[in-house]
Structure formats: structure tokens, C-alpha cells
């Protein structure tokens, strides 16, 4: 059963929903009866967009949210508590799965090898891989993993910049606006990472450089609130490095 007006083609049907649904922000996909083999067409996708411009805009926003990282205010004590809890839960999952896989390796492969230590290690390794897959596909978006995933994404974003930091700093020294913004995000990200990890020594080390950059940004009229980062922002610096190699 379809709602709205449908445009049918040979292989699929695109559904245009009524105008009152334009304000719905979730670009959900719904599979209709055709995809379950009840009609001749193999696949029917009902797209909750009223026209192609809205669809492109919403898909673009969704893609940006998945790629773009934004620094958020997080209480360091709460962050450490949550990440410890997440670590303990993952360790418990690994212990259970690791024991099962290690025991299974010894039981089923023992007749073919007398080295049970190696079999135990192989079983434990397989258990580790299985645990990683379970966390990635089932628990990554769980509430108890929010802080751990945030810390992982923060460090990953900083690593993108660290890999080209010399080129970024060289451009920033010539008042390149894009490089200055990237460097500002880098300083803010490092500051938060050190705060979350209680690394006061590194906070002191970066303080002077961060204050100098803030003054330069103010003098140039550039916003110092650079809390968003897209990995594509450093692509040009990677290309520059590879061309010199």
C-alpha cells in the first residue's frame, strides 16, 4: 500500500510524499511489497522527499554529519568514568568469547597439533577479532559507547592533521586562512584530549603556542571558534607532500 503520488519505472518506484511531510528531517528508506517478491519489479524504494532538491540537500547534510567531527563540551571526570565502563564491558565480552574460541581450538585442532599454547593463542586472537566485529556492528552506537567513540573520533581527527602538521604550520606562517583554521582546531582538539586524559604537562607545553595563534587570528579577523573538522580539509597538504617525494 502506497501513500502519496508514485512515479513508476520498469525497475523501481519513487514515491513523492504529501507536502506536510517535507519538514521531516529523517531521510528514511522504506522497502515496499515489491522488494518482498509480491510484484514483478524486484526493488521498490520509497524515498521520503517531496522533490529532488530536498533529497539532495538532506543526503548532503547526512553525509556531512557522518564525516565532519565537532568538538563538544565534555566533563573530563564523566568521560573517564564512561570510557572505563566501556572498557570493562568490552573486556568482559572478549573474555567470554576468547575462552570459547580458545577452548574450541584446543578441542577440535588438538589431535592435529601437540602445541596447545599456540592453539590457545590462535583461539584468543580469533576471539579478539570477533569481539571487535561485535563492538563495531552492534555496540558502536550504544549510549554506553558514546564517550569512547567520541574520544576515538577526536584522536583520529587530530591524527589526520598530525600527518601533515609541518605543511599546515608552514602555510599558517604565511597567514593562509585555511591553514590557520586547521591549526586552531588542532590546538583546541589537543587541549581537550589532554584534559580528558589528565595530561597537565602537555597542556602547559601547548599553552604558549595556542595563545600566540589566537592573537594572530584576532588580528586577522578570523573566528577563533574552530571546532569543526573534515578530513578532506587536509587533502591538499597530503598531495603537496606526495608530489615532493
Predicted confidence at residue 145, as pLDDT, reads 94
Query: In the predicted model, is pLDDT for residue 152 greater than 70?
Result: yes
Half-sphere exposure for 239 (CA within 13 Å, toward CB): 5
- CB-count burial class (<10 Å; 0-12, 13-18, 19+) for 1: exposed
Residue 41 located in a structural domain: yes
pLDDT band at 116 (very low <50, low <70, confident <90, very high): confident
> b/e per residue, 37-75, with b = 16+ CB within 10 A?
eeeebeebebbbbbeeeeeeebeeeeeeeeeebebeebe
Among the ranges given (3-12, 82-91, 199-208, 229-238), the one the predictor scored with the smallest mean pLDDT: 3-12
Predicted confidence at residue 239, as pLDDT, reads 65
Predicted confidence at residue 54, as pLDDT, reads 52
Verify that 199 and 141 share a domain, yes or no.
no
Verify that 130 and 188 share a domain, yes or no.
no
Is the torsion defined by CA of 48, 54, 60, 66 positive or negative?
A: negative
pLDDT tens digits, 21-31: 444 444 444 44
Among the ranges given (57-71, 150-164, 199-213), the one the predictor scored with the smallest mean pLDDT: 57-71
SS (H, E, C) 141-200: CCHHHHHHHHHHHHHHHHHHHHCCHHHHHHHHCCCCHHHHHHHHHHHHHHHHHHHHCCCH
Count of the separate structural domains present in the chain: 3
pLDDT greater at residue 93 or residue 14: 93
Verify that 174 and 234 share a domain, yes or no.
yes
**Taking residues 208-232, what's their average pLDDT?**
93
Query: In the predicted model, is pLDDT for residue 241 greater than 60?
Result: no
Residue 153 located in a structural domain: no
Integer CA distances (angstroms), 104 to 10, 113, 139, in order: 51, 13, 25
**Taking residues 216-231, what's their average pLDDT?**
94
CA 229 – CA 235 distance, rounded (Å): 12
Range(s) of the domain holding residue 172: 163-244
* Residue where one domain finishes, among candidates 67, 89, 118: 67
Predicted confidence at residue 40, as pLDDT, reads 44
pLDDT band at 200 (very low <50, low <70, confident <90, very high): confident
Verify that 188 and 220 share a domain, yes or no.
yes
Verify that 57 and 87 share a domain, yes or no.
no
The DSSP element (H or E) to which 14 belongs, if any, is: strand 13-16
Amino acid at each position: 500500500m502506497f501513500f502519496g503520488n508514485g512515479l513508476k519505472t520498469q525497475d523501481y518506484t519513487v514515491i513523492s510524499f504529501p507536502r506536510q511531510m517535507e519538514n521531516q528531517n529523517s531521510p528514511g528508506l522504506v522497502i515496499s511489497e515489491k522488494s518482498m517478491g509480491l510484484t514483478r519489479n524486484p526493488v521498490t524504494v520509497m524515498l521520503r522527499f517531496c522533490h529532488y532538491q530536498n533529497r539532495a540537500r538532506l543526503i548532503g547534510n547526512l553525509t556531512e554529519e557522518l564525516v565532519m567531527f565537532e568538538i563538544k563540551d565534555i566533563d573530563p571526570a564523566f568521560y573517564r568514568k564512561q570510557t572505563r565502563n566501556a572498557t570493562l564491558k568490552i573486556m568482559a565480552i572478549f573474555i567470554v568469547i576468547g575462552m570459547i574460541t580458545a577452548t574450541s581450538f584446543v578441542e577440535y585442532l588438538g589431535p592435529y597439533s601437540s602445541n596447545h599454547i599456540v592453539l590457545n593463542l590462535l583461539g584468543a586472537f580469533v576471539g579478539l577479532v570477533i569481539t571487535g566485529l561485535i563492538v563495531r556492528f552492534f555496540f558502536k552506537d550504544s549510549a554506553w559507547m558514546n564517550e569512547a567513540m567520541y574520544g576515538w573520533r577526536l584522536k583520529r581527527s587530530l591524527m589526520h592533521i598530525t600527518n601533515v602538521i609541518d605543511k599546515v604550520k608552514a602555510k599558517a606562517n604565511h597567514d593562509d586562512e585555511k591553514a590557520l583554521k586547521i591549526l586552531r582546531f588542532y590546538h583546541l582538539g589537543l587541549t581537550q584530549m589532554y584534559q580528558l586524559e589528565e595530561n597537565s604537562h602537555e597542556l602547559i607545553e601547548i599553552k604558549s603556542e595556542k595563545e600566540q595563534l589566537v592573537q594572530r587570528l584576532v588580528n586577522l579577523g578570523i573566528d577563533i571558534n574552530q571546532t569543526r573538522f573534515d578530513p578532506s580539509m587536509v587533502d591538499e597538504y597530503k598531495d603537496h607532500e606526495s608530489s615532493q617525494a
